[in-house]
Chains A and B, each alone.
Chain A
Amino acid sequence: AQTVTQSQPEMSVQEAETVTLSCTYDTSENNYYLFWYKQPPSRQMILVIRQEAYKQQNATENRFSVNFQKAAKSFSLKISDSQLGDTAMYFCAFMRGRSNTGKLIFGQGTTLQVKP
């Protein structure tokens, strides 16, 4: 069975600085997808970034980028130039290749506080 582990329950960063959130996963699959979702205080889940396992290039979305290490089964999220609006709970998630049910397996979450 697949598992996703986020080992940092809480983190904080000063506004404008850079922070990295860790995520590791365990799977025997070769075809899968990885995601980072953000859940701000409103509790609306927002997709931050996604990565296809078959792509070697790390995904980037503006200030958000990932460091995808397939062999190490690691998928960390880097937030550059942190903003107050980045304060949220961040979830790493895994999904097997599309031939199955499309279920997401979530990590435990990391609460990020951006300080002014």
Chain B
Amino acid sequence: GAVVSQHPSRVICKSGTSVKIECRSLDFQATTMFWYRQFPKQSLMLMATSNEGSKATYEQGVEKDKFLINHASLTLSTLTVTSAHPEDSSFYICSAVQGAGETQYFGPGTRLLVL
């Protein structure tokens, strides 16, 4: 149990375009999902907390207009990187919390390359 999927697993796009990444909890309902960014050989950096039915909470320094988050249902959160630029190239990971639990379950990540 507690499986989280992400789609796509990797995406290449042109500079200036927008990219949407989906995060789904497959076998549980997740009232809270988190979005992280990770550079090679570095730790995970929390970008935002996504709550079903309400606006996402962004960490300091993360542009909410650039990284749009929508938590449309208890099993789906989406991250849209708007007007992507090469510096947005990174590995994006989501996680989900099952019910009132404490453990975060992670998706397999999405590798974004902006040319």
Contact = CB atoms under 8 A, between A and B. Distances in A.
Interface of A: 33, 35, 37, 42-47, 50, 89, 91, 95, 98, 101-104, 106-109, 111
Nearest to A109: B43
Contact of B105 (A47, A98, A102, A103): A47
Greatest chain B CB density within 10 A among A46, A104, A108, A111 is at: A104
Contacts, number: 52
Given A44-B106, A45-B93, A47-B103, A91 B44 contact: yes
Contacts of B105: 47
11 contacts: A33-B102, A37-B106, A45-B106, A47-B103, A89-B41, A91-B44, A98-B102, A101-B57, A102-B49, A108-B43, A109-B41
Nearest to B97: A102
A60 B52 CA distance: 34
Contacts of A42: 108
A47 B100 CA distance: 17
Nearest to A108: B43
Given A44-B108, A91-B43, A103-B34, 20 more contacts: A33-B102, A43-B109, A44-B106, A45-B106, A46-B106, A47-B105, A50-B102, A50-B103, A89-B41, A91-B44, A98-B100, A101-B32, A101-B49, A102-B97, A102-B104, A104-B46, A104-B104, A108-B42, A109-B42, A109-B43
Interface residues of B, number: 22
A25 B48 CA distance: 22
Contacts of B91: 43
Interface in B23-75: 32, 34, 38, 41-44, 46, 49, 57
Given A33-B102, A35-B103, A44-B106, A111 B41 contact: yes
A29 to B, nearest CB: 14
A39 B100 CA distance: 25
B30 to A, nearest CB: 11
